[in-house]
Amino acid sequence: MSINENQRLSSESEIGEAKKGVGWGDYIVPVVVFVFCAVVIAIAMTLEEAIPLIVGHSMQPRVFPIFLMAVIAVLNVALIFQIVRSPVSRRDWEPIQTWASAGLLLLFFLLAKYIDTLVALVIVMFMMSIVWGERRIWVAAILALGTTAFIFFSFDQILQVRFPRGLLTDAYYG
Amino acid sequence: MLTDALGAMFSVLGDPSLLLLIFITTIGGVIIGALPGLGATTGAALLLPFTLTMDPVHAITVLTTIYVSATFAGSITAILINTPGTAAAAATCLDGYPLAQRGEAGRALGIAVVASTIGGIFSVVVLAIAAPLLARVAYEFRPPEYFALTIFGLAMLASISQGGAIRNLMGGVFGVWLATIGADATTGVERFMFGNYDLYEGLNFIPVLVGLFAISELLVQSTTLNQVFERISMKAVKLPTMADYRKIWKAVLRSCGIGTFIGILPAEGATVASMIGYSEAKRWSKTPEEFGKGAVEGVAGAEAANNAATGGAMVPTLVLGIPGSGTTAVILVGLLVHGLRPGPHLFTEQIEKVYAIFGAMFVANVMFFILGLFAAKLFARVTLVPRGMLWPVVLAFSVLGAYSLDQAMVDVYIALIFGVIGYLFRRFGFALAPVAIGLILGEMVETNLQNSLKMFDGQWWMIPMQPLAALFLVLAVLGISQPYILGYLSRRKAAQQQK
């Protein structure tokens, strides 16, 4: 196997199993990119105009982002041609653990925002250990509690980092 | 001045605290590099917040030591379990694993350690010589030249190995757009902030990098939980024999040059270097048919090149402020956070610090040589750590790392968002290094374009009229078209061979 073949295969199989033939994943990217470019350009058009400079001419703040989106759109057209010429992937859906892990990131956000960052960290670490295959509940619990405690005290005492106020931190900071 | 600089470089040897720091960080770097999924970039991004209270030299030493030691350590798992610990060790799998299957894992690791050390030290020497020389040239650069140079840096993203040219360029431009979020540096006009004044000064680099590299990797790892690694046991690492040295010395020397040169090119990195180092070792070998079956030159060529790229990649990072790779993008953020603004002025105003960093990189290469020889077997065992225990800890460090810079929860949310964005990018074949490089170059691109337009009173066509800027822009066009030219040439060659 040549080095290029190996590179291509390793890149293709990085996430999910690649199968031959055109799949939804191949065209969803260009569609999303076009929508993104259109939205950014629309927002950029609403940006306020800057006062002209006294000396020399420069560009308005909206120009550069619009230019960037135009470049991405042109590259996106090239990407579509590339996909049409050589369709590569039809991939399986993510396994349940990936959805669960993404869900735990969302759970972390909600717990950190509305309850306490440290509580969020303990709960999410514990649940992630279980989701990722740790069968010993006590190991997952010790890992979650121990890591959070270590991080809290090392950041608080050594790095002088103050954590955001919440259920536990209110009790600690007073 | 040169003697002062060299004195600063070797002052590292007389600083026990720095030596201890390099020793500990090398152990950390080798562990990080040996763990599949946790490469040099992720490791540096995770450790960056921990360096905030250190003095600049110690902080950058931590990051560069992680860089060189993790780049080497990727070879441990590449050889023993056929899974590169870092992308830069992918080429090492091709011959390292077959050697291990033949019962020669210790020999393969010994060759990897020696080749990596030679490559790393060679590149540090080149860095110490080339960086100040390039800085003198860069002193003459004005905004048009800097603008053209950053365009060249972005264009070179086209030839990064992962993803493909178009996707890489799209990722790079997306990164540049991310840098436009916040108040416009010249006019103060708010852009894409949606009323959130935490974003007034733009996106903080650290949470974005932590999200892109660490949290997205967590999601990637969650897709491979059912994967079972086949481990090959090993007695001890063996130093190469004289016969081995006779076989590999040419490949090592060639890869030292290739790796350092590739590293110096903006946006290229150790992954590209190791692939080319491996290909060239095969091309010049007297026994190319042995490649893929356990050729020691293959291991040596790939490993010397990827470590040679580490010093090379530091050249544009320090001299021009243009990251030479994903990891140097993180190191560049570290420099900025610690008040060391990369550029030619760094070499006149803070030359002692720069040379102390070079010295630390040199020592780090020696440290991983010693650790690699005597403790590689031990480090290989870190792959036995269950992922259900490792990755929740990585998540915790990611979250706290993102938070610690400004002590603002918005940075944590940004890291989480970019974790998901990074995962989706990789899911659909986009590499993340271009996004990081684009983000870091973004402000430089726009500011230098604005300043150039001011210089020429809005006449943009005057930019390519400047000779040096024109040279960089021509190189940029070549950089973009290079994958297609090479593809055309290889197709033509293949067609001729078929005839």
Asked whether the predicted pLDDT for residue B271 surpasses 90, the reply is no
B162 Cβ under 8 Å from any chain A Cβ: yes
Question: Do residue B223 and residue A94 have CB atoms under 8 angstroms apart?
Answer: yes
Q: Which residue of B has its CA nearest to A64?
A: B446
Name, in order, each residue with C-beta under 8 angstroms of B474's C-beta and a sequence gap of 6 or more.
none
Question: Do residue B91 and residue A3 have CB atoms under 8 angstroms apart?
Answer: yes
In this predicted structure, what is the pLDDT of residue A1?
Answer: 36
Q: Which residue of A has its CA nearest to B293?
A: A1
Residue A51 φ/ψ, nearest 5 degrees: -70, 135
Nearest to B223 by CA among A136, A124, A29, A100: A100
In this predicted structure, what is the pLDDT of residue B135?
Answer: 82
Residue B183 φ/ψ, nearest 5 degrees: -75, 135
ipTM of the complex model? 0.84
pLDDT digits over B364-378, tens only? 999 888 888 887 777
B161 Cβ under 8 Å from any chain A Cβ: yes
Question: Do residue B170 and residue A162 have CB atoms under 8 angstroms apart?
Answer: no
**Nearest Cβ partner of B53 from A48, A91, A159?**
A159
B324: DSSP letter:
S
Q: Which of residues 29-58 of A touch B (CB under 8 A)?
A: 29, 33, 40, 43-44, 47-51, 53, 55-58
In this predicted structure, what is the pLDDT of residue A8?
Answer: 36
CB burial of residue B489 (10 Å; 0-12, 13-18, 19+): exposed
Q: Which of residues 3-32 of A touch B (CB under 8 A)?
A: 3, 6-7, 10-12, 14-16, 25, 28-29
d(Cα B172, Cα B441) in Å, to the nearest integer? Answer: 9
In chain A, which residues have their Cβ closer than 8 Å to the Cβ of B278?
A: 3
CB burial of residue B217 (10 Å; 0-12, 13-18, 19+): buried
Q: Are B217 and B42 in contact (CB under 8 A)?
A: yes
Distance from CA of A119 to the nearest CA of B (A): 12
* Residue B46 host element (H or E): helix B40-47
Q: Are B301 and B283 in contact (CB under 8 A)?
A: no
A79 Cβ under 8 Å from any chain B Cβ: yes
In chain A, which residues have their Cβ closer than 8 Å to the Cβ of B427?
A: 15-16, 25, 91
Question: Do residue B458 and residue A56 have CB atoms under 8 angstroms apart?
Answer: yes
The residue type found at A14 is E
Asked whether the predicted pLDDT for residue B1 surpasses 60, the reply is no
pLDDT digits over B458-483, tens only? 888 888 999 889 998 998 888 888 77
The share of chain B scoring above pLDDT 90, in percent, equals 18
Question: Do residue B189 and residue A48 have CB atoms under 8 angstroms apart?
Answer: yes
The residue type found at A100 is A
A96 Cβ under 8 Å from any chain B Cβ: no
pLDDT digits over B198-251, tens only? 888 888 888 898 899 889 989 988 888 777 666 666 666 778 888 888 888 899
In chain B, which residues have their Cβ closer than 8 Å to the Cβ of A89?
A: 429
Question: Do residue B191 and residue A151 have CB atoms under 8 angstroms apart?
Answer: no
Q: List b or e across B232-248, with b for residues whose CB sees 16 or more CB atoms inside 10 angstroms.
A: bebeebbebeeebeebb
- Compute how many other C-beta atoms are within 10 angstroms of the C-beta atom of residue B185: 15
d(Cα B219, Cα B420) in Å, to the nearest integer? Answer: 8
Question: Do residue B404 and residue A161 have CB atoms under 8 angstroms apart?
Answer: yes
Q: Are B118 and B315 in contact (CB under 8 A)?
A: no
Torsional class of B321: left (φ above 0), alpha (ψ -120 to 50), beta (otherwise): left
Q: Which residue of B has its CA nearest to A12?
A: B429
In this predicted structure, what is the pLDDT of residue A52?
Answer: 66
Asked whether the predicted pLDDT for residue B161 surpasses 60, the reply is no
B389 Cβ under 8 Å from any chain A Cβ: yes
Nearest to B113 by CA among B60, B65, B68, B82: B68
In this predicted structure, what is the pLDDT of residue B171?
Answer: 92
In this predicted structure, what is the pLDDT of residue A82?
Answer: 84
Average pLDDT value for residue range B277-295 = 84
B419 Cβ under 8 Å from any chain A Cβ: yes
Average pLDDT value for residue range B144-150 = 89
The residue type found at B488 is Y
Provide the residue-wise pLDDT of chain A in tens; the chain has 174 residues: 333 433 333 333 445 544 555 566 678 889 999 999 999 999 999 887 766 665 556 778 889 999 999 999 999 999 998 888 776 655 677 888 899 999 999 999 999 989 998 999 999 999 999 999 888 899 999 999 999 998 888 878 777 778 888 888 888 777
B487 Cβ under 8 Å from any chain A Cβ: no
pLDDT category of residue B489 using cuts at 50, 70 and 90: confident
B14: DSSP letter:
G
Q: How many CA atoms lie within 13 A of B122 on its CB side?
A: 24
**Nearest Cβ partner of A143 from B279, B389, B399?**
B389
For B86-139, give the DSSP string.
Answer: SGGGHHHHHHHHHHHHTT-HHHHHHHHHHHHHHHHHHHHHHHHHHHHHHHHHHT
Question: Do residue B426 and residue A15 have CB atoms under 8 angstroms apart?
Answer: yes
Q: How many CA atoms lie within 13 A of B258 on its CB side?
A: 25
Beta strand pairing status for B182-183 and B190-191? antiparallel
pLDDT digits over B315-357, tens only? 888 888 888 778 888 899 899 888 888 888 888 788 888 888 8
The share of chain B scoring above pLDDT 70, in percent, equals 95
pLDDT digits over B78-122, tens only? 888 777 767 778 888 888 888 888 888 888 888 999 999 999 999
In chain A, which residues have their Cβ closer than 8 Å to the Cβ of B288?
A: none
In this predicted structure, what is the pLDDT of residue A11?
Answer: 39
In this predicted structure, what is the pLDDT of residue B139?
Answer: 79
User: Residue B237 is encoded by which pair of tokens?
Assistant: 């690492």
The pLDDT mean for chain B works out to: 85
3-state SS record for chain A: CCHHHHHHHHHHCCCCCCCCCCCHHHHHHHHHHHHHHHHHHHHHHCCCCCCCCCCCCCCCCCHHHHHHHHHHHHHHHHHHHHHHHCCCCCCCCCCHHHHHHHHHHHHHHHHHHHCCHHHHHHHHHHHHHHHCCCCCHHHHHHHHHHHHHHHHHHHHHHCCCCCCCCHHHHHHHC
Question: Do residue B400 and residue A44 have CB atoms under 8 angstroms apart?
Answer: no
Name, in order, each residue with C-beta under 8 angstroms of B196's C-beta and a sequence gap of 6 or more.
B410
In chain B, which residues have their Cβ closer than 8 Å to the Cβ of A124?
A: 392, 395
Distance from CA of B355 to the nearest CA of A (A): 27
A65 Cβ under 8 Å from any chain B Cβ: yes
In chain A, which residues have their Cβ closer than 8 Å to the Cβ of B279?
A: 3
pLDDT category of residue B185 using cuts at 50, 70 and 90: confident
Q: Name the more confident of A21 and B266.
A: B266
pLDDT category of residue B66 using cuts at 50, 70 and 90: very high
For B251-302, give the DSSP string.
Answer: HHHHHHHHHHHHHHSTT--HHHHHHHHHHHHHHH-S-GGGTTS--HHHHHHH
pLDDT category of residue B73 using cuts at 50, 70 and 90: confident
Torsional class of B147: left (φ above 0), alpha (ψ -120 to 50), beta (otherwise): alpha
B245 Cβ under 8 Å from any chain A Cβ: no
What is the gyration radius of the CA atoms in chain B, in angstroms?
A: 22
In this predicted structure, what is the pLDDT of residue B153?
Answer: 83
In this predicted structure, what is the pLDDT of residue A169?
Answer: 81
Nearest to B376 by CA among B237, B235, B230: B237
Question: Do residue A125 and residue B392 have CB atoms under 8 angstroms apart?
Answer: yes
Q: Which of residues 98-127 of A touch B (CB under 8 A)?
A: 98, 100-102, 105, 108-109, 112-113, 117, 121, 124-126
Q: Name the more confident of A80 and B490.
A: A80
For B151-215, give the DSSP string.
Answer: HHHHHGGGG-TTT-HHHHHHHHHHHHHHTTSEE-TTT--EES-TT-GGGTT---HHHHHIIIIII
Q: At what angle do helices B296-320 and B105-138 cross, to 10 degrees?
A: 20
- Compute how many other C-beta atoms are within 10 angstroms of the C-beta atom of residue A12: 16
Give the residue extent of every domain in chain B: 2-229+237-498
B184 Cβ under 8 Å from any chain A Cβ: yes
d(Cα A50, Cα A60) in Å, to the nearest integer? Answer: 6
User: Residue B300 is encoded by which pair of tokens?
Assistant: 């040596």
B341: DSSP letter:
-
Residue with tokens 């080798």: B30
In this predicted structure, what is the pLDDT of residue B499?
Answer: 72
Nearest to B468 by CA among B320, B318, B259: B320
Question: CA geometry: angle at B140 spanning B139 and B145, to 5°?
Answer: 110
B172 Cβ under 8 Å from any chain A Cβ: no
Q: List b or e across B295-328, with b for residues whose CB sees 16 or more CB atoms inside 10 angstroms.
A: bbbbbbbbbbbbbbbbbbbbbbbbbbbbbbbbbb
In chain A, which residues have their Cβ closer than 8 Å to the Cβ of B454?
A: 53, 55-58
Residues paired with residue B191 on neighbouring β-strands, in sequence order: B182
